[in-house]
Chain A
Amino acid sequence: MSDLEAWRAKAAAWCESMVPAFGKAARKGLSVEDDLALGRRYQKAKFDAGFAGINWPVDLGGQGLGHIEKITFEAEEMKHGFPNVYFGISLGMPVPVLMQFGPDRDFVKERVLKALQGEEIWCQLFSEPSGGTDLAGLRTRAETDGNGWKVNGQKVWTSWAQYSDYGVIVVRTDPTVAKHKGLTYFWVDMKAPGVTVRPIKLAGGDSHVNEVFFDDVKISDDHRMSPVGGGFAVALATLMIERYVATDSAGFGPHLDLFVDLAKEVRLNGRPAIEDGRIRQQIARNYAMRAGLDSINVRARRMMEAGMTPGPEGSLNKLVAVRSRQKLSELALDLQGAGGFAFDEHASPKDDWASSWINAPTGRIAGGSDETLLNTIAERILGLPQDHRPDKGIPFNQIPA
């Protein structure tokens, strides 16, 4: 057995042992608050077992291993439906960026250890009502205030802000220069006076995202994580940190096996639906597409094992998988006919077609919309020109609103 296989086996065994305490059955019927409390205990157990911060430095409480060990663990963990969703953003982006850019190292270490153990949660305050994809067009502003700064404005779509202790935030510190050049990156105490968090109920019924309002929120200059005016580079670095995450060719929806099972159970025109050519074609096409993504992902893992950088084709995963999950989920409801109406707001999108369907649009928008991903592929991989950008090079305060 290779070292990696041994690691996988160890991860699988540990995950298996956590199922009674933290698995789907243990979570069933819990309020969000109780589930979060369970999640904190799960995160602590994960830390104690040596599976938290797998690819983070040892002196900051991590395990000092590689991306490949992290992804391998995540692929095992993903099978069980543990309450880890509250920490996904926190440990995925803000805390790693704090490790990289946080100015006060003692403070950084204390925060990282608490975050790794589920005691503290961080959020990422990037998107605003005026734009998400156009990150550099943000309007929340910070003005100098004595030795520090005073923040005013609004962020939106901030995941888990209502449970967050801290956040990282990009704000405009100079509106008189081109939009990318007037931004600065800070961390902020989410419990500070003037911070108001208001959950947004989403189409599927849950409220994990929020509006966050800043009214004269004072922060000292030691919160600053970039040079003044150099915030955009740190924001891009934040978005790059999560390149190495476990992917799912099912787009975090149900596995194709579940669709095949459904097609075998349900009858269409008096015959099992699995015998219907329309259904067969969808199964075959989805299988071919998902198998392609799986092969891309396996090759990416092998390249990492061999010390190489995986190819850019990994960027297809989210685009292709979530889009197809959305259509397949619609088709699964079609297959059930009137039986497809049943809806359980708390069902998991990974094994419930209605839940997968209603939540699929979020997957196609958050973290880079389909259209943004296509632009990125076209420009970065294929070398096609950028779109026409009328705001290019113009001082931010002269861009027509």
Chain B
Amino acid sequence: MSILYDEGQQAIATESRRALEARVSKDELLPLLQTQGAYHQPFWTTAKEQGWTALALPEAHGGLALGLIELGLIAHQAGRTLSGAPFLTSSFGAAKAIELYGSDEQKARWLPGLASGETIGAIAFAAGPDPLPAEPAVTLTGDRLTGIAGAVSGGLSADVAVVLASGPALVLVDLTGVERTAVDSFDNSRCIADLSFADTPTETLATGEAARAAALHILALQAVVTAHEQTGGAEVLMEIARDYAVTRKAFGQPIGAFQSIKHRIAELYGLVELARANCIHAASREGQADFITAAAAARLSATEAYDTAARDCVQIHGGIGVTWEIGLHLHMRRARSLALEQGSSFFWEDVLVDRLAGDEA
């Protein structure tokens, strides 16, 4: 069953939107595309100051003990303004892995820093195109890790990573001294890096089937946060397209009076509302048996909404839409980087159908 947001949750949405719109501008985001290793500091400072880093973490370790619903609302607003760094999601994923599968000692060591935002976390599960590989790319021998975890979002800045290693095993790695190579990507503020482990010490969180199940759960939690961010991006693009279509004129009338334009925008409305509905539902199902199914549905509809909105919003703008200055390409880039982070649509389609067909519990 889905939910209606309560007053507190609505206040979080309003307040986070106000804070982000005041602090984030495309003029500051554009130069980051052509720089490696830099993220938008004001975004992350705002996230820390506003307590968003602590939002969904336990009170005992400096968190605010709210959940996916509230974090989703922040992510939605971050999607609208384009978040300046991937850490809201990546640190949350790492923190949840430690909270759910770590020892008391590990929680005490890492969670307060992740909650305050002083520590940045990352997740490294993928091997090539596979977000949850049966044969992870990095090898665990004893408690030592060797090999390259490729294209880790936030990896350039992270202090701690949760890694899916051979075994399989889910391990916690202090990234101090670990070699990172920046990936020059189309969306550089994601701080994507290859992490090279060389006999790096680890601590185990889970092993065997439990490690895979844990990794999928963390991926699903992050996917729901990301889906909110994607929906926010799609929503703002729909609004930008609408605003342009009522002001720009051609053949003596606003272009929004042409059905080829207005229907395109109405279709975007449909995609945004379906994604939003799936996001709200998924966030409300955390901890329930159908959470993974709900997360997959949210992820699929949000990816479709953001990609389509990016494509169509640029198209509706015509020539001006493809210029560097107008910055719609920031959304094109972000739509694609968010589509790849936390597993592509192919992955989530399989996760979903396995469940619908009864092949997975």
Contact = CB atoms under 8 A, between A and B. Distances in A.
Interface in A301-349: 302-303, 306, 313, 316, 319-320
Interface string A259-278: 01001100000000010000
A203 interface: no
Contact of A374 (B1, B3, B267, B277): B267
A263 B357 CA distance: 9
B357 A299 contact: no
B300 to A, nearest CB: 4
B186 interface: no
A299 B242 contact: no
A379 B300 CA distance: 28
Nearest to A292: B274
Given A283-B356, A384-B245, A385-B246, A293 B274 contact: yes
Contacts of B278: 288, 291-292, 295
Contacts of A387: 257, 259
Nearest to A272: B357
A288 B296 CA distance: 8
Interface string A364-389: 00000001001101110111111110
A382 B270 CA distance: 11
B280 A295 contact: yes
A287 interface: yes
A316 B268 CA distance: 11
Given A299-B4, A313-B273, A313-B277, A291 B253 contact: no
B152 interface: no
B350 interface: yes
A388 B296 contact: no
B109 interface: no
A319 B270 CA distance: 9
A374 to B, nearest CB: 4
A320 B301 CA distance: 13
Residue from B263, B275, B277, B294 whose CB has the most chain A CB atoms within 10 Å: B277
Contacts of B238: 382
B281 interface: yes
Nearest to A385: B257
Nearest to B352: A284
Q: Is the interface of A mostly helix, strand, loop or mixed?
A: helix
A198 interface: no
A275 B277 CA distance: 29
A289 B300 CA distance: 9
Contacts of A287: 297, 352, 356
B317 interface: no
A319 B266 CA distance: 11
Q: Is the interface of B mostly helix, strand, loop or mixed?
A: helix
Contacts of B352: 283-284, 287-288
A52 interface: no
A306 B6 CA distance: 12
Contact of B270 (A283, A306, A320, A375): A320
B254 interface: yes
B170 to A, nearest CB: 26
B242 A260 contact: no
A245 interface: no
A113 B93 CA distance: 61
B275 A375 contact: no
A139 to B, nearest CB: 25
A282 to B, nearest CB: 9
A280 interface: yes
B237 to A, nearest CB: 13
Contact of A296 (B267, B273, B294, B350): B273
B256 interface: yes
B257 A293 contact: no
Interface residues of A, number: 42
B2 interface: yes
A281 interface: yes
A79 interface: no
A288 B299 CA distance: 9
Interface string B264-297: 0111011001111110110000000000001011
A371 B267 CA distance: 11
B262 interface: yes
A384 B239 CA distance: 11
A260 B2 CA distance: 24
A274 B298 CA distance: 22
Contact of B281 (A264, A291, A384): A291
A285 interface: yes
Given A260-B357, A283-B356, A316-B274, A371 B259 contact: yes
Contacts of B280: 295, 299
Given A288-B300, A289-B301, A295-B280, A388 B257 contact: yes
A293 B263 contact: no
Nearest to A257: B356
A377 B297 contact: no
A381 B269 contact: yes
Nearest to A291: B297
A332 B277 CA distance: 27
B275 A292 contact: yes
Given A264-B357, A274-B357, A284-B300, A378 B265 contact: yes
A210 B34 CA distance: 66
Given A280-B349, A302-B4, A378 B274 contact: no
A292 B277 contact: yes
A287 B300 CA distance: 10
Nearest to B241: A382
B269 A384 contact: no
B305 to A, nearest CB: 10
Contacts of A294: 2, 281
A383 B277 contact: no
A78 interface: no
A298 interface: yes
B358 to A, nearest CB: 9
Contacts of B298: 288
Interface of A: 256, 260, 263-264, 274, 280-281, 283-285, 287-289, 291-296, 298-299, 302-303, 306, 313, 316, 319-320, 371, 374-375, 377-379, 381-388
Given A313-B277, A316-B269, A383-B246, 13 more contacts: A264-B357, A274-B357, A295-B281, A298-B2, A302-B4, A375-B266, A377-B269, A378-B262, A378-B266, A382-B265, A384-B242, A385-B254, A388-B253
The 4 closest A-B pairs by CB, nearest first: A292-B274, A295-B277, A284-B349, A378-B262
Interface of B: 1-4, 238, 242, 245-246, 253-254, 256-257, 259, 261-263, 265-267, 269-270, 273-278, 280-281, 294, 296-298, 300-301, 304, 348-350, 352-353, 356-357
7 contacts: A292-B278, A293-B274, A294-B2, A299-B280, A316-B270, A371-B259, A379-B262
